[in-house]
A and B are shown apart, each in its own frame.
Chain A
Amino acid sequence: MDKAFAADILTQYLDLEASIIFLLIDSKGVVLETNQYTKTMTGLDFSNQQQNLYDVLVDFGNLPSLEEIKNNSSVQMFNIQTSDNLPQTFYFNFFQKDDFTIVLGQMDQQETDELRNNLLQANNEANNLTRELQKKNAQLEQLNAVKNQFLGMAAHDLRNPIGIILRYSEFLIDEAKKTLTRDQLDLLNSIKISSNFMLLLLNDLLDIAKIESGKLELKLELTNFVEFVKRNISLNQIIASQKKIKLNFQSYEYLPQLMLDPLKMEQVFNNLISNAIKYSPANTSVLISVFQSGDYVMVSVKDQGPGIPEAEIPNLFKAFQTTSVQSTAGEKSTGLGLMIVNKIILGHQGRIWVESKQGEGSIFFFSLPMVLERTEKDSQALRQKSPAPKIRYNLAKKKPLEILLVDDQVEHMHMISILLNQLGYQAQFSRSARQALEEMGKNTFDIVFLDIKMPEIDGITMTEHLYRHHPRNKIPFLVAVTGAEISKEECLAAGFDEFLLKPIGIEDLQAAIGHVNIGSSAFTGEEVSKDKMSSPKPGPFLNLEVLEEYRKIDPEFLTALVSMFLEQTPGAIEELKKTFDENPRNIPGLVDQIQGACENLGATKLVKICQNIRESAPPAGGSEFERYLENLETAFLETKQALQQMKF
């Protein structure tokens, strides 16, 4: 092979294929020629001789001069700039002739191989460690679940005995205080206080066990947030007033309703407000603010307490992290409250934080999104709920009323009273039915909010007493207030005009007040004899003439007729329901029977409904018939109530 040919091939290979840096530079270092590899590696434009050797090399400020480089015949190590900004080390030889120098550089293959092997090994080890970590994570999660299960079981099983100790210590203090010495009473009080605290702790532990095991199930409800906050503030009024601390509230009134879990959120408010009270000195105030910020509703609880040391703030929402700050009246803390609060807020997709300076008090903030991500069921509930009525804060001016609250639980009465105050009303209180009856004998009331569950005489008995001794038009508008121990129907049947379920909101009160006819009632203790029945208000349900006719001829027969009607009609309606499902052809006969009984008694509304059923030809379809049945049932209850009002 001739040498010129071989030289050509080599030049061509060097130019296009070889992974070697090639530069031809002049005496000033200007690059005159280069190969493809150098262009690709550096990403530089070598056309028009615009690059210098020093543009190619990475300069850390210690590069030798061009002369030194060219005159050094040994292999020199330099880094070159690359297009991907990862400098590469090359080993260079410089071949000088006249004013030109050929620069050739190559990587150390052995070094590259070692690097690759080390990287592969490092990658393997990192992946093996990740595997081990993931496995340990899974094991920790399983252990944590077992821990939570244990915590939950222990807390749950301990609650009963602790509860018994608490109740018995209370019982002993009440029953045996006269026979016990002061020291013995102190011991019993210590038992009571400690067991009460243990019960609190166990409740918190149970909460945490539930939350930690992912069982924080939120029952989201569309809630009027401002009213909700006000209610929660009023619940803390009593403990605040015991320490002479004022609870102030300010809010942006036009907040939309929020989807939240009222019970869980009540826990949040109770915790934050009671904490604020706990760490505040007497004669200070706590300010609770609610305002809108972007898509979030913000709540802040600001106290005038001693503030929290900066170092303790990061741990505040962790378990058992009580602060070094002392409560002002020796109140105890489980160290779990804020952790639970944090979890509940997170569950509502909100965030909680605190700003505090020692000596200047603390402000706890939390945010709740205006629209929580909802399930389809929640969305339906949202669509079905009617918009909240506007609260009329000057209602008392337009509709002045004398109001009596009857409840053995002072804090509950206090709460309703605060809500009534917001509507402009001042209510009077009675702590028992007996006291209320005395009060009603002395003063005139337009509306009475009557707790159902009271010791000695309950709300139902008191209502029955009122109806037995007074004409309907002298009995105030009666509102049953109940904690779900009795149904609305039972309350209405007993003679109540309205039914409210605890906890009661301001809208509930406003709605109840809206139904009161001013001046239609009120008695002043004047007893009215049973047979007077001067002006009963049977409404559109009964034909009084028919009843009066019976009464004149044979009062006993009338009583028997009424009891038969009251006893048999519900069964007949029930029978009608079954007949529709099983044998619709018998419907007319049954309706006729019911209609006949109603006509005998002058139960006009029921008669009308029976006629409607008979006239709907051909026999009414499923949904229409169901509506008739519903009407029939409602009209029966109304008729029954009217009859009871007439003392049957």
Chain B
Amino acid sequence: MISTEIYNNYLSNLLSGNRANCSKVVEELLDQKIPVQELYLELFQSTLYEVGKLWEKNEISVAVEHMATAITEGLLNLVYPVIFSGDRVGKSVVIACVAKEFHQIGAKMIADIFELNGWDSFFLGANTPSQELQKMIEEKQPDLLGLSMSLSFSMPRLEKMINEVQFAFPQLAIIVGGQGLQGEGRSLLSKYSNVTYIDSIGELEKTIGVSDG
């Protein structure tokens, strides 16, 4: 459990662009062997949601929002030695963002949660062109595909990607998630078989457990 004091200290450093101080907070938490899920949910995810809200309320500029995201992305690197050192379960997943979307951090955190659960995750990053995605699936032959959509207006591109992937790889199970699916978009997914909407990291871990078991 991350204390309010640590959280506020981290957030104020994140908003003022003090990367070194943010790094110190994360390093100290890692030294204390904080569970990675807790770090991701209670620090990285919570602060980024708060940064988003501050931007929406015009309390911070988009530049500050970009800076906070960039700092957080850099801090994920500190966690990788922990994430990648665990035992493997012999399953793999390809994670990608919908084409023309540049917000990748959420999808990346999901890829990391897969790693923590022993899966090998291949993260394709922001703005994944459909062709590149298919090439990766062909090469890695994953057990699962994860697609992230941050903005609601990307829904047509998400549907196009699902259609293309299902045409080429009909057996491949797909999970989708992201802030862009918080509203109506989710209902449009019901028509696809083998596509599951995941709304939180907790639910993702349950799903992985089911797939695994």
Contacts and interface: CB of A to CB of B under 8 A. Distances in A.
Contacts of A139: 84
B51 to A, nearest CB: 15
Kindly name the residue among A121, A125, A135, A141 whose own CB sees the greatest number of chain B CB atoms within 10 A.
A135
B126 A131 contact: no
A120 B123 contact: no
Interface in A120-157: 120-121, 123-125, 127-128, 130-132, 134-135, 137-139, 141
Given A116-B66, A120-B70, A138-B85, A131 B76 contact: yes
B81 interface: yes
A131 B73 CA distance: 10
Contacts of A132: 123
Interface residues of A, number: 17
Nearest to B88: A142
B73 A124 contact: yes
Interface in B74-127: 74, 76-77, 80-81, 84-85, 102, 104, 108, 111, 115, 120, 123, 125-126
A138 B125 CA distance: 20
B73 to A, nearest CB: 5
Interface in A268-300: none
Contacts of A127: 73-74, 76-77, 108
Kindly name the residue among B80, B102, B120 whose own CB sees the greatest number of chain A CB atoms within 10 A.
B80
Kindly name the residue among A121, A124, A135, A139 whose own CB sees the greatest number of chain B CB atoms within 10 A.
A124
A167 to B, nearest CB: 42
Contact of A135 (B73, B84, B108, B126): B84
A134 B84 contact: yes
Contacts of A124: 73, 102, 104, 125-126
Contact of A120 (B66, B77, B84): B66
Contacts of A138: 80-81, 84-85
B63 interface: yes
A125 B66 contact: no
B66 A128 contact: no
B63 A134 contact: no
B108 A131 contact: yes
A113 to B, nearest CB: 10
Kindly name the residue among A127, A135, A141 whose own CB sees the greatest number of chain B CB atoms within 10 A.
A127
B133 to A, nearest CB: 15
B36 to A, nearest CB: 13
A320 to B, nearest CB: 29
Nearest to A138: B84
Contacts of A130: 77, 80
Contacts of B123: 128, 131-132
Given A121-B102, A138-B84, A128 B125 contact: yes
Nearest to A141: B85
B81 A134 contact: yes
Interface string B161-182: 0000000000000000000000
Interface in A78-101: none
B125 A134 contact: no
B102 to A, nearest CB: 7
Nearest to A128: B125
A131 to B, nearest CB: 6
A479 to B, nearest CB: 54
Nearest to B126: A124
Given A123-B73, A124-B73, A127-B73, A137 B84 contact: yes
Contacts of B85: 138, 141
Nearest to A125: B125
A134 B70 contact: no
Contacts of B70: 120, 123
Nearest to B71: A123
Contacts of B120: 135
Contacts of A125: 125
Interface string A106-127: 0000000000100011011101
Contact of B80 (A116, A120, A131, A141): A131
Given A116-B66, A135-B120, 18 more contacts: A116-B63, A120-B102, A121-B102, A121-B126, A124-B73, A124-B125, A124-B126, A125-B125, A127-B108, A128-B104, A128-B125, A131-B77, A131-B108, A131-B123, A132-B123, A134-B81, A135-B80, A137-B84
Interface of A: 116, 120-121, 123-125, 127-128, 130-132, 134-135, 137-139, 141
11 contacts: A120-B70, A124-B126, A127-B74, A127-B77, A128-B108, A128-B125, A131-B111, A134-B77, A134-B84, A135-B115, A139-B84
Closest 6 pairs (CB-CB, A-B): A138-B84, A134-B80, A127-B73, A128-B125, A123-B70, A130-B77
